[in-house]
Amino acid sequence: MASTERREEALSRQRIVDAAVELLDVAGEGGLTFRALSARLRTGPGAIYWHVANKNELLVAATDAVLAGATGTDTVEDRPEDAIRTVALGVFDAIDKHPWIGTQLARSPAQPALLQIFERIGQRIQALGVPGEAQFTSASALLNYILGVGGQNAANARTQPPGTDRTAFLATESAAWKNLDPDEYPFIRNVAGQLRDHDDRAQFLAGVDLILAGIANLNPRGRTRR
Partner DNA sequence: ACCTGAACACCGTTCAAGT
CB of 100 closer than 8 Å to CB of 24: yes
List the one residue from 14, 40, 54, 155 that touches DNA (CB under 7 A). 54
Identity of the residue, 45 or 129, whose beta carbon is nearer to DNA in the bound complex:
45
How far apart are the C-alpha atoms of 216 and 129, rounded to whole Å?
9
User: Where does this chain touch DNA (CB under 7 A) — which range of 42-50, 123-131, 155-163, 202-210?
Assistant: 42-50
14 binds DNA (CB under 7 A): no
55's enclosing H/E stretch is helix 55-68
Q: Is 51 in the site for DNA (CB under 7 A)?
A: yes
Interface positions with a copy of itself (CB under 8 A): 103, 106-110, 115, 118-119, 122-123, 125-126, 133-141, 143-149, 151-152, 154-156, 158-159, 180, 184-188, 190-191, 194-195, 198, 203, 206-207, 209-215, 217-218
How many CB atoms sit inside 10 A of residue 141's CB?
A: 16
| Closest CB 153 distance from a copy of itself, rounded Å | 9
Burial 101-110 (b: 16+ CB within 10 A, else e): bbbbbbebee
CA 5 to chain centre: 39
47 binding DNA? (CB under 7 A)? yes
Counting Cα atoms < 13 Å in the Cβ hemisphere of 29 gives 20
Residues at the contact surface with DNA, assessed by CB under 7 A: 10-11, 32-36, 42-47, 49-51, 54-56
